[in-house]
Amino acid sequence: MFSKILVANRGEIALRIIRACKEMGVRTVAVYSAADQNSPHVHLADEAVCIGAAPSSQSYLNIPAIISAAEITDVDALHPGYGFLAENAHFAEICESCQIKFIGPSPAAIRSMGDKMAARETMRKIGVPIVPGTQEAIRDKDEALRIAKKIKYPVIIKAAAGGGGRGMRVCHNEVRLVSALMTAQHEADTAFGNSAVYIEKYIEKPKHIEFQILADSHGNMVHLYERDCTIQRRHQKLLEEAPSPSVDWKLRKKMGDMAIKAARAVNYVNAGTIEFLLDDTGKFYFLEMNTRIQVEHGITELVTGVDIVKEQIRIASGEKLGIRKQDKIPLRGHAIECRINAEDPANDFAPSPGRIERYNMPGGPGVRVDSHAYAGYTVLPYYDSMIGKLMAHGRNRNEAISILQRALDEFIIEPIKTTIPIHKEILRNPLFRRSQMYTDFIQAVMGEWMDKMAAERVMPQLVAKER
């Protein structure tokens, strides 16, 4: 086992990793930007090194500074968390060449799944179903038009190097396709440094179902069942649950087997996630693989009892998986997670950074909160807006919902705006209660509620103006 690990991240995931290390008796090194000096991960780690100024490019993405911190503190491994450098194969390679064990898959596996087009091709070859679409980057508009005609509208343009719900454009007709193609290529180039885009059939009314994979370096691989991440806003997850209310044991077996097959195709080692879209006829399609720990890993931990972060560390140190037989993986009850973001749902989810004056964290049976926030903490504008994850675990879905509802009532974060109100609304929605939701749920079902909230916000100002 390692004696010291550097945590190359911030926020709640840095805390989560430090907690796992402490329980395993492994010392930790935090790295932080100048703006994060009051963050809990800095104080909870055994050592902390400032790696640069507030912007991520100068700190959490600053490879030379992070490697220097690792060398100075003499760590034997590094956990990248999610986001930042977690899926950067070049960074994983540098770690390896510096004799620092990267707690994640091999650079080759990261690379082969990092390019979505290449990943689609790998899946097609081994017989894992993919969404109909192109196998190569689109060269020009004529090619795009020809393909869209063949697979039929609506279609979706995606960046080969895309991620985080960015760089995607849905097109319902030829005019839109032609205009979207150019902007998509340009955007992909600016955002990801790679202008390659491809076209897929846009699956209407799908559910997002993903399988958690764990694999060790001895050839053992299992999945920890699925998570349902259908509740999204602009293709970004907002609420997740495990298991999926739309997947029965027969489908779970079929999808789970495919997920294992997909991960085996790239000789995957460590924790990873295979994402699928499930359509309303029960057909499913490979979407992508995330070669890192996911934000939503906690709900899988709640229903399986497996500590995924500890497993990641053990796997990286060469140990075998804790549970190596698929049919021995427990699945107990139901867990749901609400992402608590510093965003204003009544104002098109505008970021709402600022100081938290009042903070009350929920607790009690069945509740888990992973957050780095506290009263007096300032949500910074430089990084993503997630300030925590509220999870509930019940014997069944209804119980998990009830626990979550009372926990959301207890959760106070003021005066900044957060996603707490929209989570309360989702949980009381009859379609959600009946699991009749698709990836357009927020837009299609919550639209009216968001308009009402926005109007209530604006009205007092209008009234004041009229006076």
Q: Which stretch binds ligand ADP (CB under 6 A): 164-172, 304-312, 313-321, 361-369?
A: 164-172
The candidate with the shortest Cα–Cα distance to 271, out of 20, 28, 460, is 20
- Known catalytic residue at 292: yes
For residues 312 and 103, give the distance between their C-alpha atoms in angstroms, rounded to a whole number. Answer: 7
Residues 208-267 that bind ligand ADP (CB under 6 A): 208, 232, 235
Q: Give residues with Cβ within 8 angstroms of 359, minimum separation 6.
A: 373, 374, 375, 377, 412, 413, 414
For residues 297 and 304, give the distance between their C-alpha atoms in angstroms, rounded to a whole number. Answer: 11
CA neighbours closer than 13 Å in the CB half-sphere of residue 279: 13
Under rule CB under 6 A, residue 202 binds ligand ADP:
yes
* CB of 200 or CB of 216, closer to ligand ADP: 200
Sheet holding 169-171, edge to edge: 169-171, 155-159, 197-201
Residue 10 Cβ vs ligand ADP, minimum distance, rounded to whole Å? 21
Residues 106-145 that bind ligand ADP (CB under 6 A): 131
How many other CB atoms sit within 10 Å of the CB of residue 430? 8
In 3-state terms, what secondary structure has residue 74?
A: coil
Q: Omega before 381 cis (within 30°)? A: no
Under rule CB under 6 A, residue 191 binds ligand ADP:
no
- Determine how β-strand 207-215 pairs with β-strand 101-102: unpaired
Report how many residues bind ligand ADP under the rule CB under 6 A.
20
In 3-state terms, what secondary structure has residue 342?
A: coil
Residue 438 Cβ vs ligand ADP, minimum distance, rounded to whole Å? 9
Among 187, 275, 337, 343, which residue interacts with ligand ADP (rule: CB under 6 A)?
275
Under rule CB under 6 A, residue 200 binds ligand ADP:
yes
Site string for ligand ADP, 283-322 (x = CB under 6 A): ----xx----------------------------------
Site string for ligand ADP, 39-78 (x = CB under 6 A): ----------------------------------------
For residues 46 and 30, give the distance between their C-alpha atoms in angstroms, rounded to a whole number. Answer: 8
Residue 450 Cβ vs ligand ADP, minimum distance, rounded to whole Å? 18
Helix (H) or strand (E) holding 47: strand 47-52
Q: Which stretch binds ligand ADP (CB under 6 A): 101-109, 143-151, 195-203, 329-337?
A: 195-203
The DSSP secondary structure of 162-173, one letter per residue, reads: --TT-S-EEESS
* CB of 156 or CB of 302, closer to ligand ADP: 156
Q: Which residues bind ligand ADP (CB under 6 A)?
A: 131, 156, 162-166, 168, 200, 202-203, 206, 208, 232, 235, 275, 277, 287-288, 439
Q: Which residues are catalytic?
A: 292
